[in-house]
Structure 1
Amino acid sequence: MSDNVAFELADRDAEPSGNEGLTEEDVIDYLERHPGLLLERPELLDRLELPGPPAPAASLHHWQLRRWRSQANRHRQALDRLHQVAEENAVADRLLHDFCQVLLATGDRSRETLERLIGETFEVDASRVVRLGDLGQASAKQLAGWLDNPVPHCGRIADAVRDELFGQALAQTGSAALIAVSAGGSDRITHVVALGRHAPDGFNPAQGTHFLDQIGELAAAFLPAPEA
């Protein structure tokens, strides 16, 4: 669209009118005065709906065009979702990089320090790093099945486990992520990293666990090996 046409359209929009927004007559009037608009802005044709033949006649071209447009819209939406995921992954990668740098610069490799650094780096409302041997009998029993196949757990956790890991820091309606850690290259699970969010779906079973796995690997490298 030329600058003159754009300026004229903007100027007409700015004129006071008794009706809110453009009317159908305004659009028709504008198109009559600018018959070359679609030549200057051919992308507008992608969104125009043209009438088909009167029933009961059917137009193959008309229906093909409708299907192609519908497919194009679905592909555009899928690309938008992929772009969103890519942006979220880029943010997560940046956070993991920052977390790794902070861990490398820290001399105190205690569980308390790891808890603090996790809370300062990631968007969580509570974080705990617990030695597996320090868990009470009730919690250990609840987690026994998960520890047999310790893929990071996301979602709700049993009340006994939540109370022992988080205490008052996480309400009953909150959600958690549990990560099994083998500290210092140990061949057995030594710690559980627990992350909590107040939102019920802050951690949920539908989300991926790739970045939680990486947090677990960094935690395993940070924590000292257990004493024999």
Structure 2
Amino acid sequence: MSNQKTTASKSANTTGSQPDEQSVADYLRRHPGFFEDKPTLLADLRVPHATGSAVSLVERQVAVLRESNTGLQKQLKELVQVARENGQLNAQLHKFTLQIIENDSLDALLILINKQLCRNFSASRVALRLLVGAGDGKSVSRDEFPADADAFRGLFRRLLRAGKPHCGPLNGEQLVALFGEQAESIASSAVLPLGKQGDLGLLAIGSFEKDRYHTSMDTSFLDNLAEVITVAMGKYLDTGS
């Protein structure tokens, strides 16, 4: 009877002394070189695989590294593509700026902006709205000058006050104010305030593509474009200065 108790006690002590999963995990983290001199043990370990089969830890590590490498290659390709596109955009902006410098009238400038944005900057539709009068008073009947500038400003007050490009959705009333009958075809858009808090007006670029302009995109190019157009417009508008 005494022998049975002793055996049971030893068994209980042995079971109780076995480390739990967390202890094993903590130990391995504290000793990352544990398997360096135990290659056979490393090869014997098995890790469940998504297919339901088991693979060795070494095989699993190789698979993880391969997946990680594939992900890094994809990110690198995306970065290279973005850099290439940015380079092309900057080249187009430089060319556009030179064309603006050669302009000698407001009418010619308005035509140039619409034409070049659609041709070289992938704009499906362009809407330029100026909230101050023309310096010569001759172009106020154009669509670029809203009949009720105050009402138009109120419709876009939040975007104008932000003083920076807004990329993403617009509400139905805003789309109609900008693109008229073509509003329903605009899937995404960018709104660029012109001047400090949009005091000169705004430039809206509409796209038929849903993801062409979105809230998380980089707006550095759009900032530069707005600055170029603001400077170009300044000499033709009645800014009060």
Letter in 1 for 2:192: I
Identify which of 151, 157, 168 aligns with 1:144.
157
Match of 2:91 in 1: 94
> CA shift at 1:69, angstroms?
2.0
The equivalences for 1:33-182 within 5 A come to 59-110=56-107, 112-113=110-111, 114-133=113-132, 134-135=145-146, 136=148, 137-171=150-184, 173-182=186-195
- C-alpha separation in 2, matches of 1:163 and 1:205: 21
Match of 2:230 in 1: 220
> CA shift at 1:181, angstroms?
0.8
> CA shift at 1:143, angstroms?
1.2
Count of matched residue pairs: 174
- C-alpha separation in 2, matches of 1:175 and 1:188: 21
SS at match of 2:234: coil
Alignment TM-score, normalising by the size of structure 1: 0.64
- C-alpha separation in 1, matches of 2:46 and 2:225: 62
Alpha carbons of structure 1 residues 215 and 180: separation in structure 2 relative to 1, 3 Å:
same
Match of 1:210 in 2: 220
Alpha carbons of structure 1 residues 175 and 59: separation in structure 2 relative to 1, 3 Å:
closer
Cα distance per residue 1:180-214 (max 9 Å; x no partner) = 112xxx79621211111223333222322111111
- C-alpha separation in 2, matches of 1:172 and 1:83: 31
> CA shift at 1:96, angstroms?
1.3
Q: Identity percentage over the alignment?
A: 21
Identify which of 175, 192, 197 aligns with 2:202.
192
> CA shift at 1:54, angstroms?
9.0
> CA shift at 1:58, angstroms?
6.9
SS at match of 2:184: coil
- C-alpha separation in 2, matches of 1:187 and 1:59: 62
Contact 2:46–2:57 under 8 Å retained in 1: no
> CA shift at 1:120, angstroms?
3.5
- C-alpha separation in 2, matches of 1:97 and 1:169: 30
Cα distance per residue 1:150-196 (max 9 Å; x no partner) = 221122222222222221233255322110112xxx79621211111
- C-alpha separation in 1, matches of 2:46 and 2:119: 66
- C-alpha separation in 1, matches of 2:161 and 2:86: 29
Contact 2:97–2:228 under 8 Å retained in 1: yes
